[in-house]
């Protein structure tokens, strides 16, 4: 069964392709490739983010509060009728990310968001999480506001499966056709030479990984895919190319 409850730290780094290849080559000694990255190929993650008419949730998020939260619907690739997707709440408090999600059929998820009527209990639905999501949606008057997708390579530590490193590229967005089953397309956020490396950990980074980052002069930075798209839309803090993002690591 897919994991539905997460609590961890997430640390982010912006890399160009050269740096990404160096890191991945070194990772293979300690980490295994995700089973969905068959032959080194990326897999696609598609999301619909929900917000209020005045973008309250993302405005709160980009103001860097101690606590922030968001709701999204996530699929792996473009879902077909009857496919399962994940409806999830993601919260962050003092740097710790908590994610709670439940599986729903794509039609169930869309119907719930449109009507607010809870889906009938099914074996694959986490009822406790669904109740938490329902409470969240009744606090805010939410609607679909953003489609955001990207292609991912992911690795898991051979001895500690909770330590994960992923590489996302080809981040694309749209603010129309706001349904996962409408297809995978949108405007690119950056050019082809940008990779977002995300490190998921429960405690401290392994010493070997810290040395790897130091040797290659790679430093963490604050970054949000949704927040960056919002900044682009509103014209605040816009960054357009790889050289600006990766200048500290070239």
Say what the pTM is: 0.91
Q: Of the candidates 9, 22, 35, which has an alpha carbon nearest to the alpha carbon of residue 152?
A: 35
In angstroms, the CA 55 to CA 118 distance is: 24
Which regions in the chain score pLDDT beneath 50?
A: 1, 238, 240-244, 246-250
Asked if 169 and 43 touch (Cβ cutoff 8 Å), the reply is: no
- In this prediction, residue 249 carries a pLDDT of 39
Q: Whole domain around residue 156: which residue ranges?
A: 5-246
Q: What is the reported pLDDT for 238? A: 47
CATH number at residue 184: 3.20.100.30
pLDDT score for 245: 52
Number of domains in the chain: 1
With beta carbons less than 8 A apart as the criterion, state whether 78 and 183 touch.
Answer: yes
pLDDT score at 64: 85
pLDDT, position 243: 44
Which two structure tokens, joined as six digits, stand for 97?
């990310």
Euclidean distance between CA atoms 27 and 209, whole angstroms = 8
């Amino acid at each position: 069964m897919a994991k539905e409850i997460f609590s961890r730290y997430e640390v982010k780094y912006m890399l160009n392709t050269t740096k990404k290849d160096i890191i991945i080559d070194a990772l293979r000694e300690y980490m295994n490739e995700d089973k969905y990255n068959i032959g080194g190929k990326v897999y696609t993650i598609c999301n619909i983010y929900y917000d209020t008419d005045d973008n309250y949730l993302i405005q709160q998020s980009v103001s860097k509060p101690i606590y922030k939260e968001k709701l999204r619907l996530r699929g792996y690739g473009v879902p077909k009728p009857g496919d399962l997707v994940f409806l999830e709440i993601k919260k962050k408090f003092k740097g710790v990310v908590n994610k709670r999600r439940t599986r729903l059929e794509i039609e169930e998820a869309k119907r719930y968001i449109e009507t607010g009527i809870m889906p009938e209990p099914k074996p694959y639905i986490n009822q406790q999480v669904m109740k938490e999501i329902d409470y969240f949606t009744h606090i805010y008057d939410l609607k679909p506001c953003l489609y955001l997708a990207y292609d991912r390579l992911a690795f898991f530590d051979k001895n500690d499966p909770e330590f994960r490193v992923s590489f996302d590229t080809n981040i694309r967005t749209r603010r129309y056709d706001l349904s996962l089953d409408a297809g995978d397309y949108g405007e690119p956020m950056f050019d082809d030479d940008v990779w977002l490396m995300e490190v998921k950990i429960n405690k401290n980074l392994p010493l070997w990984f810290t040395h790897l980052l130091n040797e290659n002069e790679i430093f963490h930075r604050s970054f949000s895919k949704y927040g960056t798209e919002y900044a682009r839309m509103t014209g605040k803090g816009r960054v357009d190319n790889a050289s600006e993002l990766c200048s500290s690591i070239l």
